[in-house]
Amino acid sequence: MPDPLSPAPQPLVLVTGGAKRLGRAIVEACAAESWSVVIHHRASAAEAEALATTLRDRGVDAATVAGDLADPDAASALVESAAAAAGRPVTAVVNSASVFEWDGIGTLTAESFLHHMLPNALAPCLLIQGLLRQLPRGVQGAVVNLLDQKLAAPYGDHFSYTLSKYALMGATETLARSEAPRLRVNAVAPGYTLPAPGQSRAEFERLHGRTPLGHGPAPAEIAAAAIFLLRTPSVTGQTVYVDAGMRFQQRTRDIGFD
């Protein structure tokens, strides 16, 4: 039986896509726990720096790091860059950044497939590899991957995106098994939580409550699930669905087409 490891006494959490949307909510939730954070962005430097400044004003250790997750070399170097920015090793990673663009089997191309697979599936695995490389001896690391509720009841819209999330779901369970006890790996599968790019607020509100519970999830609920998975030492290989039961509806198309 392997020797148990201890969680980091003061976690340093790298959140990809941490300047906006769900990533930002997760960064703010980590800060509320007084955890140190590194906010990753691709091209949102102003938003990332403003958030880091706000958190530092509250007494939270916060740094930023830039990187294009579609570039495998950049993804491979990101954890090391985050550790350098923070001045100490990263102990947890939240893979929140994601590309979400429409295609279907009829429009699928190698370009559209790789456009999703590289940042959504390969990059998270490279970040986990980087986390393991620099994780301090005797410290148990933690990873939370953001998936999607549609994996429980898939349909053909956003085909390449969906396959990329299936790959990340497989990595979650595989690495939870293979890297224990050094690493815990879990996932959150959000439902319809925020407006899609270009979608009006009115249209989002019209669709947000179309779930068995009569309401949709809030970003803070996704963040709370991520915090639970980051902090609970006996949970690994789990996917928490935060979707107000949307996966039970057996949809045939994305809700945006309703």
Counts of helices then strands in the chain (DSSP H, E): 8, 8
176 in any annotated domain: yes
* Residue 207 CB partners (closer than 8 Å, separation 6+): 192, 255, 256, 258
Q: In sequence order, what are the beta bridge partners of 40? A: 65
For residue range 43-80, what is the model confidence (pLDDT) as tens digits?
999 999 999 999 999 999 999 999 999 999 999 999 99
Mean pLDDT of 189-201: 92
Name the nearest CA neighbour of 89 among 185, 25, 10: 10
CATH code where residue 123 lies: 3.40.50.720
Question: Could you give the number of structural domains in the chain?
Answer: 1
Q: Is residue 4 part of a domain?
A: no
pLDDT tier for residue 3 given thresholds of 50, 70 and 90: low
CA distance 228 to 32: 13
Query: Does residue 37 lie in a domain region?
Result: yes
Q: Is residue 82 part of a domain?
A: yes
2 lies in a domain?
no
Domain that holds residue 30: 9-257
Q: Enter the pTM of the model.
A: 0.96
3-12, 111-120, 133-142: least confidently modelled range = 3-12
In a domain, 64, yes or no: yes
Tens-digit pLDDT profile for residues 128-162: 999 999 999 999 999 999 999 999 999 999 999 99
- H helices of 62-200, in order, are 72-86, 110-117, 123-134, 159-178
Does 3 reside within a domain? no
Question: Would residue 42 count as lying in a domain?
Answer: yes
